[in-house]
A and B are shown apart, each in its own frame.
Chain A
């Protein structure tokens, strides 16, 4: 007996249509002590990202011509249904930390800040599938909050393939169904894909379709982020008497 991921009327388990993303809510500038911060909700996946820097290199090697980005991904003990101590040093966290770093390095104008480091701390408070995508989206917003110049937005969204249908922005139930899971990071103004990850096997015939679904989801997220950021900038400008 298998679970049906799409009902005969075409709705997913949580009531979304295949191409719809989850509800998105975010708030920037939560922690004045940090250079930039963002609280980000993508459905029931909730993350906080704080950014420190650019600042003097404390550990490791400083690079002559550019800034170094350090990322750290961690998950709260209470983030999933089962309470379990989770470190930041386990294999999965390390992998996602690396992924965040690589992706952000491709959009931050690192050469503007030689011999500095930028620290990005991503913390998952509640996990319901797609934590790495939520962290990337939150990181973009936190970097903007910190005033660090970026080439472009980085919006991230995952897509999967269940019941012969490409699905956008998988939640935990869909994620753990065993189908393919394809998270991407998309640069909306240039139209480039900055990151793509694929661990499971998928037939090549479906791949294009899934990728297109993920990009389409990223575009939806972009329009929400763009609107939110614009509003906040307008507000800031107003408070400083600029508009």
Chain B
């Protein structure tokens, strides 16, 4: 160790969980070789350097992140304190420090000989830290160029006074932003004089009557929790209402039915609830769930022409209350989608107070609204950062000969092809089949070798793990990996050499017995990249006896047999109808129809299932506690109850005891007169299903590994590493089983794996939500300014609402025009009868006609209005028989 380093000890006294006092002594080295960052990260000729204090970092992070505030020195003292206050903010600060172009520099003042401050006897830690910050400011003033001012940025009056005594230049962040003279930055500022609202307001409350009850102090809450007088839980708000509930650990719900009792908490907050006659009241918020919200300014706001004004911001998420923000650009923002953060919620205010962050775009434009969908689903969709792009190989990358020598070469010896949906650019998988001399088949599934490019622990890997999945929207794709990999180097395109991870079987085509199965890395050269339709045409064309056609036919035959065996074993076929939009060149929807499935779809799917299953078995055999698997828990039978009751009213039934029974009865279910009954029942059954989830095999007992939908004891995802991170993990683990990778800490540490997988599960769920939202966005655009009458079937009926399935467009929707008071609900037979016209009845599987329109509500909330067309309904009833065989006819206005 260098001689210019001084060493001393920090002594920390800690109380253990058992109540003993521990004395910890830690070394603390003070050095003189720490750079001040000027000239390296900070500009040499800056206008000024800023040293923000802790509160500035905590509350004004949005301004700091804006990119306009540069040459900022973050002291170690500040960073440490920010970390103990708010970890997510600390991470944002760290990102700022890592980006060179932001010009944020971290100065380790605690380890510099001249800036270190020893805590004095009876001095509080806060005062000591303030002193440390001031000391560092003085040091900077002394050691740097005198002509450039160094400002201590603090909004604390006391510390400003102290600073001026010590001849430190200080100013508030508000003054600094005013000095910069960029008006848009003003909106990013959190308003002055914030009080942290979780603290008790006990002294204030006695003097005046308040709108809300003050929160209890944390000591009070702790005591009451210990005495079981209050309960803690996450609050959920019903969309569009001022009512909510808290679900407790035991599954019980406590409802909170008034705004006053919700007491300034927001959906997702962890709150403490006190029981008050039949309902609960929030008495404290343990953890806020505030995030950044997308929405718009109330369109009925009166706009002032100059100066700033208070406006109401209405979030898109209907669970979130309006937020009051101050802005000077109301005239400009009124037609825009903007983002806003909540700063505080005053005890006397009906709404929380927040500040503007950014503008997304014009309301109603596809790009803007898609951006809103992505942000609300929390999908990371920013450009890949520089350090991630730095991990990528060059675009002219080719396979080196040393790499080639390590792999099996299938380039010319096997006829590999890929079959995907039209327009697919990220080709994960390719297949081959070869008849062996002994009559058996050699089947190969070749998966893009993503882990060759995405090295563990690289920035690229961290980014992929963070994103976890590619998100498919109607008109675009948000990639998990940069485009070079997704569409070029990893994508198994036709007639280029590509690296692959192959799974090869030798299968007896008659008994379906697997004679051998192995995984290895390979090089392939796909002969052709087909769409499902093209592949099907080649198979069907009996005159075509090319190698590709023969290979495809072998695959299809075997696939059929495998599929049959799988369903015999009890797999479920629950494909709910997917819709497909036809888009014009401007990405506007021109057409909406059901997605056509072809036999080749299921052939490819069959081999992917086989490969996934093989991968899961291989992993579990070698690493019983580390395998990344996917489980699908069986549905809760209580979920089926209401469905079975509804089916019973039509004389139908389902065997829900096992997946096999369910599938067998689903196969047979039908009702004369309505061809869509089977589809509808499958959709309803799907809604009873639970979500499949990734998990690590060490975290669950082996009977929980079961995949209900596929009726497989173990299952995983191996075949789409370009778009799913779980597959990347599986590739790494498989690589370890065959000795080409070594087990790393990221894989072996359970806590680590648990975190990664729970993120993957959450992102997968959010990706589905984004997909759904994107479809409804496009549905709205498609039906906009149209007035369509279409055939539909009733999916479900209860006293409150009626769900209908619109066959032509393949989606289900609630009947909006349906009004409670005009209808009577027969509980037993589940029939709704119209009070005025008693012939007008609605029951499950009834064929009806609906009128589809788009209504634009207040706050730019468009929704689909699907109403019952009554006349046609009466006409249909009288001529039931005639139309029963009729295909749904086109009835556009």
Contact = CB atoms under 8 A, between A and B. Distances in A.
Interface of A: 1, 7-9, 11, 13-16, 20-24, 43-44, 81-82, 128, 164, 171, 173, 178-180, 201-205, 220
A7 B79 CA distance: 10
Contacts of B94: 8
B457 interface: yes
Given A8-B97, A24-B1, A205-B742, 10 more contacts: A9-B34, A9-B107, A20-B2, A23-B5, A44-B25, A44-B26, A81-B24, A171-B26, A201-B745, A202-B745
B29 A14 contact: yes
Contact of A82 (B5, B22, B743): B22
Contacts of B108: 7, 9, 11, 15
Contact of B1 (A82, A180, A220): A220
A44 B9 contact: yes
Interface in B798-838: none
B11 to A, nearest CB: 11
B27 interface: yes
A212 B108 CA distance: 27
B26 A173 contact: yes
Nearest to B27: A14
Most chain-B Cβ atoms within 10 A of its Cβ — which of A21, A44, A203? Answer: A203
Nearest to A82: B22
Nearest to B104: A8
Nearest to A203: B744
A220 B87 CA distance: 37
A164 B457 contact: yes
A128 B107 contact: no
Given A9-B107, A14-B28, A201 B743 contact: yes
A44 B742 contact: no
Contacts of A202: 745
> Interface extent on B, as a size class?
35 or more
Given A23-B7, A201-B743, A201-B745, A16 B29 contact: yes
A148 to B, nearest CB: 29
Contacts of B23: 81
Contacts of B434: none
Nearest to B88: A1
What are the nearest 4 A-B pairs in CB distance? Answer: A15-B29, A15-B111, A203-B744, A204-B742
17 contacts: A7-B79, A8-B106, A9-B108, A11-B108, A15-B30, A15-B31, A15-B108, A20-B1, A23-B1, A23-B7, A24-B1, A44-B26, A82-B22, A164-B457, A178-B749, A201-B745, A203-B456
Contacts of B87: 1
A2 to B, nearest CB: 9
Contacts of A201: 743, 745, 748
B20 interface: yes
A178 B1 CA distance: 25
B28 A81 contact: no
Most chain-A Cβ atoms within 10 A of its Cβ — which of B20, B29, B97? Answer: B29
Nearest to A13: B26
Contacts of B744: 203, 205
Contact of B111 (A11, A178, A180, A205): A11
Nearest to B748: A201
Interface in B17-46: 20, 22-31, 34
A22 B1 contact: yes
Interface of A is mostly: loop
Contacts of A15: 28-31, 108, 110-111
Interface string B273-312: 0000000000000000000000000000000000000000
Contacts of A164: 457
A202 B20 CA distance: 35
Interface in B61-101: 76, 79, 87, 94, 97-98
Contacts of A173: 26
A137 to B, nearest CB: 14
A8 B104 CA distance: 11
A222 to B, nearest CB: 13
B29 A7 contact: no
Nearest to B37: A9
B26 A14 contact: yes
Contacts of A16: 1, 29
Nearest to A161: B745
A203 B27 contact: no
A203 B745 contact: yes
A23 B2 CA distance: 9
Interface string B630-645: 0000000000000000
A82 B398 CA distance: 59
A82 B110 CA distance: 27
A98 to B, nearest CB: 27
A82 B24 CA distance: 9
Contacts of A1: 87
A171 B29 CA distance: 13
Nearest to B455: A205
A203 B747 CA distance: 10
A9 B35 CA distance: 9
Nearest to A202: B745
Contacts of A204: 742
Contact of A203 (B22, B30, B98, B743): B743
Contacts of A7: 76, 79, 106, 108
Contacts of B9: 44
A44 B1 contact: no
Contacts of A171: 26-27
B74 to A, nearest CB: 8
Nearest to A45: B27
B369 to A, nearest CB: 36
Contacts of B7: 23, 43
Contacts of B29: 14-16, 23
A142 to B, nearest CB: 22
Contacts of A179: 745
A61 B771 CA distance: 79
A196 to B, nearest CB: 18
A180 B76 CA distance: 27
Nearest to A173: B26
A81 B22 contact: yes
B140 to A, nearest CB: 15
A103 to B, nearest CB: 24
B390 to A, nearest CB: 15
A81 to B, nearest CB: 5
B742 A203 contact: yes
Contacts of A11: 34, 108, 111
Contacts of B111: 11, 15
Contacts of A43: 7, 27
A44 B27 contact: yes
Contacts of B106: 7-9
Given A201-B745, A203-B745, A82 B20 contact: yes
Contacts of A128: 25, 27
A105 B30 CA distance: 39
A220 to B, nearest CB: 7
Contacts of A13: 26
B132 to A, nearest CB: 14
A9 B76 CA distance: 9
A45 to B, nearest CB: 10
Contacts of A21: 1
Contacts of B27: 14, 22-23, 43-44, 128, 171
Contacts of A178: 749
A171 B97 CA distance: 27
B637 to A, nearest CB: 40
A112 to B, nearest CB: 35
Contacts of A82: 16, 20, 22
A205 B746 CA distance: 13
Contacts of B20: 82
Contacts of B107: 9
Contacts of A220: 1
A43 B25 CA distance: 11
A11 B29 CA distance: 10
Contacts of B24: 81
